[in-house]
A and B are shown apart, each in its own frame.
Chain A
């Protein structure tokens, strides 16, 4: 039986995050009364500082979808969308969101979500986002503004790419946002938020880096998705986020000092046996079951690529308040999903070596071609380059029909047994 989110151990910072989220959804519920404008937008390549500087509130449909998955609501939402003619082949985040909308648009916390005043189609590295907002455009009577972010096909950001984004921000995106907000953008407000972003980013990187310690005081995948919550969503560029990441860093530092492992659904880890790097998004419908398949075996995830979809701060990027629009452009261009396959392989290789991993695992999700296409080649390349064994499981983001619990568990057990054998052989 699946365990409810409320039955699991949590850190103090998690409680703070929960309060922040509840407060945000409360503001959203009362947005029409308070006159706050609501912007629906996406996580990778989001323009949170800009939205906040114009006094608007963001809603992130992917996060609603994943929360619906964790709260066991996604199956009925997906069924609702499929009943309305959406194909069984396509992204379940989209169908979950459409189904949620058709079912009254009640947020994962139980509050009612207001309709958008603006659909801000700023997406990085996933074409489905474009179709998603085309679909939402049919449902809502509001303007849509697009920010097209070029792809890092050759593994680098060029001046032409940056200029293209800045041109769009200056001439299309900001004017459209100002019109909806009913006020001009105050650049100083934007700069202030960008500076706050950089502070939080420093602390987040320290948290990621802590995983180099043995035992790792964090789980960089299952725990990591909580750590990225505020910075990838509505809170980057806020004082709240700065406080959250400072508190998180302190917690992690304290665990490192006492040699404690990460907090798992069943309490703190005491037996780090395997250090794993994970590629691909988690499954949300069986999130805690999936996590336990690792924690039960003493497997800690020391780094993951999913936690970099909203920014690769550990490669050095920080929002720079001295060049506000250029820094937003660089942020959008630099997210993990905007990296080409060879760069993604280089990064995972780097993580395997930097975090001294015993193995790496690919969770290939049906819904996400952006992640999944090429992952079997990623597996081969990484094994060839590092000699570290890779594992491969398949599931989905929020469609419970694609989470074969026994199958995944068997595969993972075999994989960890193989790692165990390899370790024993190495010790002899």
Chain B
């Protein structure tokens, strides 16, 4: 009670923490008990068309691996040492029965690891549906857009065969509206921490957003709304920190303690690419008059997709978007934090660094794994970076 009186956001944050840490999938099991005929659709990072699943009466569940919360025993026996960590913990979650309530798993086409994990899922869990989501790399609505809309309809048909409700335009319109409200609130949350990082720490924003992994868009929007409202009422103590953008946590997520370590090292993370999927489509999904909402969902991905390591950037210098964001926020520098052995993020990094160098934007970099347990070196590195930026700014 004292904690809540001191911090009006404490109670909602505590609820969010429980949801974000729910490796046992208690909330998903509760959903299944309340809705025995509805399907649960798990999806790997970074992006999946969640409104489509909701319109089919399914509960979408974002699977981010197991972080640092689970000892990996069987999962390691399926992967060589040079493969990133997230497929190990995801297999561990599956083999340990924690994903038993997940009827279908969606594997988006973001890298070779997640793609092949989809094939492994087919073999290891033959009674569940394993769906590959082939996201287009051609961004012409008439070519890539049509292909992607076809993919969405194919996935809907597969889920219908498994027992999902038939896809109705009205249901998808409602789901898109719910998704848009969620996104508006995430945007508001981002603005709040950008304007006053002491009011909402990045680690808190991360938790409240992550809490939505197994919630419907509407339930998640309500939680976000509650948190944003409470955070606005906080009494804030300001810190003399540097403002940084954190970049590279493309799919595998860093442990929360790592984010907190960066904050303790004097870095206000004013923008990031944690849990990219929630912000993959920039601005609201608009359904035009007379447009099939499936086509609108596809068009939003084609036309409003955020530049990421998994998306081919044809017309622009790679990294230009990151440099623009740093200037716009504004931020003092960039921290690259990529998961070890993450091909897309690590192959992108030299191009992003070049773009930052050209603009005299300071940066530093390190790698992590989702189960990294030692933060001292990272904290020292981030602390030195923060001090250097404060002392010398762009001349670091």
Which A residues are closer than 8 A to B by beta carbons? 84-87, 89-91, 94, 121, 126-128, 130-132, 134-135, 137-138, 144, 146, 148, 150-151, 153-154, 160, 163-164, 167-168, 171-172, 340-342, 344-345, 364, 366, 369-370, 372-377, 381, 394
Contacts and interface: CB of A to CB of B under 8 A. Distances in A.
A163 B148 CA distance: 12
Interface residues of B, number: 56
Contacts of B87: 373
A89 B119 contact: no
A164 B349 contact: no
A134 B79 contact: no
B177 interface: no
Q: Which of A128, A153, A171 has the most CB of B within 10 A?
A: A153
23 contacts: A85-B350, A89-B82, A89-B342, A94-B347, A131-B347, A138-B354, A144-B314, A146-B137, A148-B137, A154-B132, A160-B147, A171-B140, A172-B140, A366-B80, A366-B82, A369-B343, A372-B83, A373-B117, A373-B120, A374-B78, A376-B80, A381-B123, A394-B80
B124 interface: yes
A134 B313 contact: yes
A420 to B, nearest CB: 27
A167 B123 contact: no
Interface stretch (B10-18, B106-114, B168-176): B106-114
Nearest to B110: A127
B136 to A, nearest CB: 6
Contact of B119 (A91, A364, A374, A376): A374
B80 A85 contact: no
B346 A377 contact: no
Contact of A127 (B112, B119, B120): B112
B112 A369 contact: yes
B375 interface: no
A164 B141 CA distance: 12
B220 interface: no
B134 A85 contact: no
B84 to A, nearest CB: 9
Contact of A87 (B115, B137, B140, B349): B349
Given A127-B111, A153-B134, A373 B83 contact: yes
Contact of B134 (A151, A374, A376, A381): A151
A121 B138 CA distance: 12
A150 B147 contact: yes
Given A128-B112, A167-B146, A377-B78, 16 more contacts: A90-B346, A90-B347, A148-B138, A151-B115, A153-B115, A154-B132, A160-B154, A163-B147, A171-B140, A172-B143, A340-B122, A341-B119, A373-B79, A374-B119, A377-B123, A394-B80
B284 to A, nearest CB: 27
Interface in B213-272: none
Say whether chain B's binding surface is mostly helix, strand, loop, or mixed.
helix
B344 interface: yes
B144 interface: yes
Contacts of A172: 138, 140, 143
B144 A373 contact: no
B143 A90 contact: no
A172 B312 CA distance: 15
B303 to A, nearest CB: 17
Q: Which 7 residue pairs are nearest across A and B when measured between Cβ atoms? A: A341-B119, A153-B132, A131-B347, A148-B137, A373-B116, A369-B112, A87-B346
Interface in B117-131: 117-120, 122-124
A376 B79 contact: yes
Nearest to B353: A85
B155 to A, nearest CB: 11
B99 to A, nearest CB: 17
A131 B184 CA distance: 32
Contacts of B109: 127, 151
B299 interface: no
Interface string B290-332: 0000000000000000000110111001100000000000000
Nearest to B137: A148
Contact of A89 (B77, B124, B346): B346
A215 B116 CA distance: 36
Q: Which of B116, B124, B144, B314 has the most CB of A within 10 A?
A: B116
B160 interface: no
B315 to A, nearest CB: 10
Contacts of A85: 349-350, 353
B83 A369 contact: yes
Contacts of B341: 89
A85 B150 CA distance: 40
Contacts of B310: 127
Given A127-B310, A369-B83, A86 B350 contact: yes
A376 B310 CA distance: 26
Q: Which of B150, B347, B350, B351 has the most CB of A within 10 A?
A: B347
